Amino acid sequence: MPEVKLPVLPLASGLPGHLAPLLEQVVAAFRERTKVEIVPGAGDAVAAEAAHALLVLSGGTEGEALAFAERTRGPIVLLSHPGHNSLPAALEIAARLRQDGRPVRLAHLGTEQPALPVLAQAIALAR
């Protein structure tokens, strides 16, 4: 059982009928690799956190991520995975947020250890 829960806002574009299975697969992969329970939630719930985690499931989500960032304060953690242009979108989001002076960290599935467990624990402690 995962030790830490991390509320995330899932972001996806152009995946009709494929979003739920992809979300389930990516959440399970992060859980298996990091022992962090990623908990998909609504924007308001994630915005209420001290730091905000966005799960970038596909490309084409940059605008939605940046709009979320404009409505919130505090650091942002971006989670990406190897498929659906997730990493390029997350890199673009991270670059723009950094350009705007926003603290941001990127955890990519497959290269996330040990960063994601530490980030998730920090967010949990900030509650």
Q: Judge whether 7 and 41 are in contact, CB under 8 Å.
A: yes
User: Which pLDDT does position 3 carry in this prediction?
Assistant: 75
User: Which pLDDT does position 56 carry in this prediction?
Assistant: 98
Averages of pLDDT over runs of 10 residues in the chain (127 residues) are: 85 84 94 90 94 96 97 95 95 98 92 71 71
For the chain, domain boundaries: 4-126
> What fold characterizes domain 4-126?
Rossmann fold (3.40.50)
Distance CA 48, CA 8 (A): 11
Of 34, 73, 79, 36, residue with least CA distance to 51: 73
User: Which pLDDT does position 2 carry in this prediction?
Assistant: 61
User: Which pLDDT does position 9 carry in this prediction?
Assistant: 97
User: Which pLDDT does position 72 carry in this prediction?
Assistant: 96
Q: Judge whether 76 and 97 are in contact, CB under 8 Å.
A: yes
